[in-house]
Chains A and B, each alone.
Chain A
Amino acid sequence: MYFENFAALINMDGHGVYVWASVAVTLATMLWLVIAPLYKQRALLNEVSRDMQRQQDRELAAKTNPSAPSSSENTEESN
């Protein structure tokens, strides 16, 4: 290591605060750039799954009671 000890690495002759602040902000934003899309992906897949479920329910309701209007309100109450 270039520095004599860990404390010197943190302090960097008084420049540590600038260097470590830059590193912290950079790493935080980079982490956000990969974690945010992973959460978004889960939300998107859940949304598709809900859409499919709703459609299935509608089809089932239409089959069991063909005379009933197949409006979305009707099927959602049956859940």
Chain B
Amino acid sequence: MSWLSKLFSKLFAKWLPNESSSWQWFYRLGSPKWFYRRSGQWLPWLSLAALLVLATGLVWGLAFAPEDAKQGNSFRIIYIHVPAAFLAQSGYFIMAIAGAIGLIWKMKISYMVMKAAAPIGAVLTFVALFTGAVWGKPTWGAYWVWDARITSMLILLFLYAGVMALQYAYHSIDAASKASAILALVGTVNIPIINKSVDWWYTLHQPATIKLTSAPSMHMDMFMPLLVMIVGFYLFYGVALILHTRNEILRRERKTSWVRELVNAKAGL
């Protein structure tokens, strides 16, 4: 991977931390001890925000939004299906980018984030597939069809599973991290395929409701709660990722003095 880091330092020489101290935050973020301490302070607020936003969006979407003219009330599944699918894909990018940062800068914490992101993404992909199947029954008449969107999401689930499995396929943590990061990066090919699948192969799955480039294809009364749910899922994802990363830090740093001090401080309370 040395050619990759050389290429990067050439491309981004201006922003790389040689003499400037403005990149200090990046390095401090790379310190497991610093991250563990600070994330402990963020967690209560982030959790509270996630809980409030999710509760608001769920009640709004399930009980107050109007029903769909064609699909009736079954369309309300959109309020969990779309945010889960959104985060399943965003989470994959987060995992792949964390892997890339680990490969290029050899930052320990980013490999831990990558490992933490895999099971969360896998669960969210499962949720998207499950809610999609349950939505399919009243709408399409079938729980499962080999539609392009559904198949590419299933591949996403396998990619997550592959990254998780590779973590345990090596004796050395370093080798496992590198292999997982490369698989994660290669797998990003699947993300645009998921996004475009509804346009390229126009079969059963409906086209995207939300696009960055155009107005949403649904009424504001239906769209607003969906937006709230997506924000809520992002907040929830943040909480879950921090919790899993903290455990990975403890697992890998359990012999260090700062973890021992932490345990001593806890015992003293």
Instruction: State the CA gap A19–B58 with chains docked (Å).
Output: 12
Asked if A51 is at the interface (CB within 8 A of a chain B CB), the reply is yes
Contact across chains for A22 and B135 when beta carbons are under 8 A apart: yes
Asked if B120 is at the interface (CB within 8 A of a chain A CB), the reply is yes
Q: Which of B39-76 contact A (CB under 8 A)?
A: 47, 58, 62-67, 72-74, 76
Q: Which of B156-164, B176-184, B210-218, B243-251 contacts A (4 or more CB under 8 A)?
A: B243-251
Contact across chains for B74 and A38 when beta carbons are under 8 A apart: no
Please report A residues at the B interface, Cβ cutoff 8 Å: 1-3, 9, 12-13, 15-16, 18-19, 21-23, 25-26, 29-30, 32-34, 37-38, 40-41, 44-45, 47-49, 51-52
- Total A-B residue contacts, Cβ distance less than 8 Å: 98
Contact across chains for A41 and B250 when beta carbons are under 8 A apart: yes
Contact across chains for A2 and B259 when beta carbons are under 8 A apart: no
Between A and B, 7 residue pairs with Cβ closer than 8 Å are A13-B72, A19-B77, A26-B131, A37-B244, A44-B247, A44-B250, A45-B250
Contact across chains for A22 and B81 when beta carbons are under 8 A apart: yes
Number of interface residues of B (CB under 8 A): 43
Asked if B267 is at the interface (CB within 8 A of a chain A CB), the reply is yes
A-chain residues with CB within 8 Å of residue B130 when the two chains form the complex: 22, 25-26
Instruction: Give a binary string over B160-195; 1 marks a CB under 8 Å from any A CB, 0 the rest.
Output: 000000000000000000000000000000000000
Known: A21-B134, A44-B247. A1 touches B123 (CB 8 A): no
Contact across chains for B254 and A22 when beta carbons are under 8 A apart: no
Contact across chains for A23 and B123 when beta carbons are under 8 A apart: no
Known: A25-B131, A29-B126. A40 touches B254 (CB 8 A): no
Please report B residues at the A interface, Cβ cutoff 8 Å: 47, 58, 62-67, 72-74, 76-77, 80-81, 84, 120, 123, 126-127, 130-131, 134-135, 137-138, 236, 239-240, 243-244, 246-247, 250-251, 254, 259-260, 262-264, 266-267
Contact across chains for B63 and A2 when beta carbons are under 8 A apart: yes
Contact across chains for A22 and B72 when beta carbons are under 8 A apart: no
Contact across chains for A26 and B260 when beta carbons are under 8 A apart: no
Q: B140 to chain A: closest CB distance in Å?
A: 12
Instruction: State the CA gap A2–B135 with chains docked (Å).
Output: 20
Contact across chains for A49 and B74 when beta carbons are under 8 A apart: no
* Contact pick for B135, options A13, A16, A18, A40, CB 8 Å: A18
Contact across chains for B247 and A40 when beta carbons are under 8 A apart: yes
Instruction: State the CA gap A32–B138 with chains docked (Å).
Output: 28
6 tightest Cβ-Cβ pairs between the two chains A and B: A12-B73, A37-B243, A15-B74, A15-B73, A22-B131, A44-B250
Q: B210 to chain A: closest CB distance in Å?
A: 19
Which residue of A has the minimal Cβ distance to B126? A29
Known: A12-B76, A19-B77, A22-B130. A34 touches B138 (CB 8 A): no
Given contacts A2-B65, A37-B243, A38-B243, 19 further A-B contacts (CB under 8 A): A12-B72, A13-B72, A15-B72, A19-B62, A19-B77, A21-B134, A22-B80, A22-B81, A22-B135, A23-B80, A26-B131, A30-B127, A30-B236, A33-B120, A37-B240, A37-B246, A40-B247, A44-B247, A45-B263
Instruction: State the CA gap A16–B72 with chains docked (Å).
Output: 11
Contact across chains for A2 and B127 when beta carbons are under 8 A apart: no
Contact across chains for B138 and A15 when beta carbons are under 8 A apart: yes
